[in-house]
Amino acid sequence: MYKVIIVDDEFIERRGIQFLLEQYGDLFEITVSDNAEEVINHLKREAYNILFTDIKMPIMDGLELSKEAIQLQPDLNIVILSAYGEFAYAKQAINIGVSEYVLKPINIDEFNKVVKKITEKLEETNSQAKYERDYCLLNLLNGVSIDKLLIKKKRNIDLDFFNQYTRMLLIETGSNFFETSDEAFAHRLKNCIKQDFDYLNINQYQSILFFQNYHSNDKEFEQLGEKIYEEVMKNEIPSANIVLSRELRSYTEFYPEYASFEELLETRFFLGNIHVISHNSIQDFKPESITELINNINYYALKKDCYSLRQCVLHFCRQYRYRQGFSRIYINYIFSEILKAINSNLSGDQEMEFNNQIRKIYSCNNSTEIIDIMEQNIDKLEFRDNDLRNITLINTVINHIQSNYQKDISLEELAGKVYLTPSYLSHIFRKRTGGTIMQFIKQCRMESAKKLLVTTNMKIIDISERIGYTNCSYFCHIFSVYFGMSPEKFRQINSKEMP
């Protein structure tokens, strides 16, 4: 929606322009005035996109108003409406910086051409501004320093704008939903939750909502997350997860908070039916039963998923250590069973050490000592599952992605190839490479697109399909956010530099 202000001292003229603009539906938010002074006051209070002004008005005419308006809002598009066709008036208007000069009586077709020209210009400006904002956000999320970002963009960036974001919310879907969804989805979501936000697409599976000056408490934010989850699931997707940030005080917290999202997502495999995940939900995790907990720990120990194993054990310790109704003997028994799961398939010497660990559990004086024993045994399991093996597994995953990035690759598929749980593969991949698997897939696709743009004459739609994006518009958007410019502009700038 664009904000328009109309000024003319003749009521019929004002109403005529307003009527023509109202035929565009909700495209324009219209303010009407009968004098230039009132318009100046409006422009001092809020931003507008278009000013329609008569040239002959009492006290202050349209040309004088245009001069002051441009000083107040340099990006304002001004259309002068005049019964005077003399060249002198048109020349003055051009010198001032007026966008269009329309003669009265107004020809409707000519008027619509002017409106179309200005709205196309505004759309292009808004698109470029959104690309620049998204480019900066994506870099801030990935830990790029502000100094490097300023050098890359070669322009000033209003960092205070990013400080307005006080909450982030990640939407992850079980299908490539965000490749085929568009801004209409964000619009529907805003209408549903009655809350404004800025929308950043991360990849085909994930998008982030940024909320400006949102200061509700954690409980209210979780309720908002539930509403968003319900709305997302109306789109006939197989599954979805919502991850909530803590309250943000500065854009410098984007990177560590975004990194914590990945850690929170890694826990979803043992959170049961919880689909809205926050730091609070992890702290409040409660397995449905002791049997289920032991089964989970057995599974993670068998898979050598030390990350999930450690998380599961620590959650158990938080929830069950010396709770009312559990005897100390029973608690010791449960921890002994957990220790058995961690230390399966032991040799003779290891068996003796395991028995010593069991005796230590029964002689512990407090829960902290028991937790230390659990941690030590998980550390031993992680050491046995040595780093060299992890490097080999990660190299296998990287090679598979580099050979198949043009296909729809899921985390579950990759985990199955190396016989790990998805959560543990995510954990060791991020630990080894510093990024997520989805980021690496996107990087492979973008680097391939870059090469094809500057070394071939392939159409952009064909490049999009070649690297794995069936929706060309989505590819162009992702590329623009990733490189800070459209594929067409990137080709123009870089093709001459290639040998």
The alpha carbon torsion through 269, 274, 276, 278 (nearest 10 deg) reads -70
> Smallest Cα–Cα separation from 363: which of 387, 328, 394?
328
Q: What is the pLDDT, as a whole number, of residue 211?
A: 96
Q: Is the pLDDT confidence value at 344 over 70?
A: no
pLDDT of residue 322: 40
Average pLDDT, stretch 361-375? 77
Closest C-alpha among 91, 13, 21 to residue 53: 13
* Long-range contacts of the stretch 340-343 (C-beta < 8 A, 24+): 341/294, 341/297, 341/298, 341/301, 342/297, 342/301, 342/309, 342/313, 342/374, 342/377, 342/378, 342/381, 343/377, 343/381
Q: Give the whole-angstrom CA distance, residue 121 versus residue 401.
A: 40
What is the predicted pLDDT for the residue at 397? 95
Torsion of CA 171, 181, 397, 269, to 10 degrees: 30
How many other β-carbons are positioned within 10 Å of the β-carbon of residue 78?
24
Asked whether the predicted pLDDT for residue 205 surpasses 70, the reply is yes
- Distances from the Cα of 241 to the Cα of 175, 187, 276, angstroms: 12, 20, 6
φ, ψ for residue 93, nearest 5 deg: -60, -40
- pLDDT at 468 exceeding the cut of 60: yes
- Whether the pLDDT of residue 289 is over 90: the answer is no
At 248-273, the pLDDT tens digits run: 999 999 999 998 888 788 666 545 57
Identify the weakest region by mean pLDDT among 338-347, 465-474, 478-487. Answer: 338-347
pLDDT number for residue 48:
95
| Contacts of the segment 263-267: beta carbons below 8 A, 24+ positions apart | 265/172, 265/241, 265/426, 266/307, 266/308, 266/311, 266/423, 266/426, 266/427, 267/308, 267/311, 267/423
Confidence of residue 145 (pLDDT cuts 50, 70, 90): confident
Taking residues 67-91, report their average pLDDT: 83
Model confidence band, residue 324 (pLDDT cutoffs 50, 70, 90): very low
Q: Which residues contact 324 (CB under 8 A, 6 or more apart)?
A: none
Q: Which of 187-201, 299-313, 394-408 has the highest mean pLDDT?
A: 394-408
Query: Does 335 score more than 90 pLDDT?
Result: no
Check pLDDT > 50 for residue 499: no
Instruction: Please say if the pLDDT value at position 319 is more than 80.
Output: no
Q: Are the beta carbons of 19 and 46 closer than 8 angstroms?
A: no
Alpha-carbon distances, residue 185 vs 101, 162, 191, 192, 228 (angstroms): 38, 23, 10, 10, 11
pLDDT value at 203 more than 60: yes
How far is residue 112's CA from residue 106's CA, in Å, rounded to a whole number? 10
Q: Which residue has the higher pLDDT, 288 or 49?
A: 49
Mean confidence (pLDDT) of the chain: 84
C-beta separation of 189 from 231 below 8 A? yes
Count the neighbouring beta carbons within 10 Å of the beta carbon of residue 386: 9
Q: What percent of the chain has pLDDT over 70?
A: 84
The per-residue pLDDT for range 115-130, each reduced to its tens digit, is: 999 999 998 888 777 8
Q: Is 283 exposed, middle or buried (0-12, 13-18, 19+ CB in 10 A)?
A: exposed
**Can you give the pLDDT at residue 308?**
74
The CA distances from residue 89 to 69, 85, 101, 362, 381, in Å, are 18, 7, 9, 96, 84
CA–CA distance, 479 with 473 (Å, rounded to integer): 10
Class of residue 124 by CB neighbours under 10 A (exposed 0-12, middle 13-18, buried 19+): exposed
pLDDT(2) > 90: yes
Report residue 345's pLDDT band, with 50, 70 and 90 as the boundaries.
low
Q: What is the pLDDT of residue 196?
A: 87
Tell the burial category of 481 from Cβ atoms under 10 Å away from its Cβ (0-12, 13-18, 19+). buried
